[in-house]
Amino acid sequence: MNLERLHILLVCNLGASTGVMVTKMKEIAQSSEKLRQTDVRIEAHPAGELREYVADFDVIMVGPQIKHQLKQLSEIANEHGKPIQVIDTKDYGTVNGANILKDAIILKLNGEEKGERG
């Protein structure tokens, strides 16, 4: 895997639990041999602010507590050519940052490979 850049936006309700996830994911990315040469940026923002931030990120990961908003969030992501996916409920609940980081990498690579987004 040779990623130059991996900018992940976690979209949530208010951000408390997602903020914990961001911290965990950053720790994992910083200790990862495979991501050592990668420009990794991970942030969490409320769903209502997606339009403000979407252009600055490579992939959008949606908190499972707001998966009911996926359709409207996907419309925004698609306008900007960004892949989007709901975070696995179990991984989110157990704060499994490694699995969520892996899912984000796969989402980015699949989007690039297909030449399409969303």
Other C-beta atoms closer than 10 Å to the C-beta of 89 total 12
33 is catalytic: no
**DSSP labels, 49-70:** GHHHHGGG-SEEEE-GGGGGGH
Choice among 6, 8, 9, 12 that is catalytic:
12
- Pairwise CA distance, residues 67 & 2, whole Å: 30
Q: Is residue 43 classed as helix, strand or coil in its secondary structure?
A: strand
Rounded CA separation 86/38 (Å): 23
Sign of the four-CA dihedral 54, 86, 3, 78: negative
Q: Which residues are catalytic?
A: 12
